[in-house]
Structure 1
């Protein structure tokens, strides 16, 4: 009994240590955002500095186009999420349920693309959108993000559909449903956890991405949040308070999305990884 209690206490102590390690960087960024001026380092170890101020947060909303950048990121991320979910739900279903010429080659090609970093596609995709006159447009950015996120999303949905018994669709066909109505009424409601994982991955692909956005978007009013935050850093100086305040605010939508979808995450990630 004592050994069991000791193991439990040790486990909780270890978890508390890891939690403190995870929370400390966030608290450090919070402290920097509350410091006056652009103080990055301080001899004071308190989280809330003695002369703390919300000046950086006020400047973000009054003197900087932070809300515009936030709207741009929400627009791009929403479009990427919607497009990724729609295409992946259809493409994954086709690969899971239909035997067609080139099916194995298609799945192999999708899997192969995941072996290379997305930055390898930067030059050919940039040439493509340049020829389509989509540079410095949200549509061009959408092409980049969807093309890099879609292979994983399709593979994820294909694995999830494999766990759904085809007998459910056969029963729906007996009751008079077409394949399209069976997919819409029977399969998609069951596949909600997989769709949530797909939506979350698509959202994160667009929300925090910087390298591609820096190449596509040139107009400051069209900047997404990563580009806008990077603009606070110059070659000779950095506005650390603004940098830290914006970084904290950027993380808020991500935390909200994770909390809202947390009940789907475990089932979506595990069921799509195995086949019954």
Structure 2
């Protein structure tokens, strides 16, 4: 079924409108970060950030705790992405390639856990980490995020692995490949799009979380960037310029991470399962 040129133009205009609505808040945040403080609070806003000013970024970077909290966020997020992807991949392989008692129950449990509201988990996780002496610990915070993202990552990777024929693995084993060789040379390349999608989800979840980082990390030396952003609001007022500049800086790692891995997304769809 073909669509007429007028319908295609209408669809393109509609898509462009949605893109503009989505990107406008991002543009407004970035442009406001470059405005002098006096222009931010003007009753008549300026859509173009001229003259450009880096004063807000200087205030944000110079605020105490920036480098420490940035390092904490990077360490926790990298650990979460690595642990979540590895555990989820192995669990997905077990669920799709092996038959064992309780497999269906485990899948239902994973799906149910994905539906639980995150605020409902704050008290149980707090008590559990306290009993394990992991409060105010970056390791404990990373484990918390891994537990949060695992249901989604397992379910997503299971769907990708279901689409890979078992015959590819059996043919490789007939040719003499071991189980780890099959995983490394066949499954991983073919499931690369799923790994990338789940790693992006894990990265964004761990990087942007404020609730658990604020509740579980009371030591200022162990706090993350979302908690640090709250320090721009005090009893005397809110430093809007520094807050918006700091928000822009905190969004950059997510953008950079996606730009680095998105090149491998299409390559992963066609790589693998090719006999050398």
TM-score by length of structure 1 reads 0.87
The alignment yields a C-alpha RMSD, in angstroms, of 2.4
Distance 1:186 1:178 in 2: 11
Q: Deviations over 1:157-198 (max 9, x none)?
A: 111111110011111221122223322222112211111112
Distance 1:176 1:51 in 2: 67
Distance 1:220 1:95 in 2: 41
Moved more, 241-250 or 68-77: 68-77
**Residue in 2 that maps onto 1:167:** 167
Q: Deviations over 1:7-50 (max 9, x none)?
A: 44444433333333223222322343234447653133323456
Moved more, 58-67 or 152-161: 58-67
Runs of 4+ in 1 over 6 A off after TM superposition: 266-269
**Residue in 2 that maps onto 1:273:** none
Does the 8 A contact of 1:110 with 1:155 survive in 2?
Answer: yes
Deviation of 1:62 after TM superposition, in Å, equals 2.9
Deviation of 1:94 after TM superposition, in Å, equals 0.1
Q: Deviations over 1:82-131 (max 9, x none)?
A: 00011011000000010001111111111111121122111111111101
**Residue in 2 that maps onto 1:16:** 16
1:189 equivalent to 2:185? Answer: no
1:130 equivalent to 2:130? Answer: yes
Structure 1's 75 and 212: CA in aligned 2 closer, same or farther, altered over 3 A?
same
Gaps of 5+ in 1: 270-276
Does the 8 A contact of 2:61 with 2:246 survive in 1?
Answer: no
Moved more, 250-259 or 260-269: 260-269
Deviation of 1:258 after TM superposition, in Å, equals 2.4
Gaps of 5+ in 2: 270-276
**Residue in 2 that maps onto 1:99:** 99
Structure 1's 4 and 188: CA in aligned 2 closer, same or farther, altered over 3 A?
closer
- SS in structure 1 of the partner of residue 238 of structure 2: coil
Structure 1's 268 and 150: CA in aligned 2 closer, same or farther, altered over 3 A?
farther
Does the 8 A contact of 2:193 with 2:268 survive in 1?
Answer: yes
**Residue in 1 that maps onto 2:149:** 149
Deviation of 1:6 after TM superposition, in Å, equals 4.1
Does the 8 A contact of 2:95 with 2:158 survive in 1?
Answer: yes
Distance 2:102 2:65 in 1: 49
Structure 1's 184 and 26: CA in aligned 2 closer, same or farther, altered over 3 A?
closer
- SS in structure 2 of the partner of residue 114 of structure 1: helix
Moved more, 53-62 or 239-248: 53-62
Distance 2:265 2:120 in 1: 29
1:121 equivalent to 2:121? Answer: yes
Does the 8 A contact of 1:38 with 1:240 survive in 2?
Answer: no
Structure 1's 151 and 5: CA in aligned 2 closer, same or farther, altered over 3 A?
closer
Distance 2:49 2:171 in 1: 65
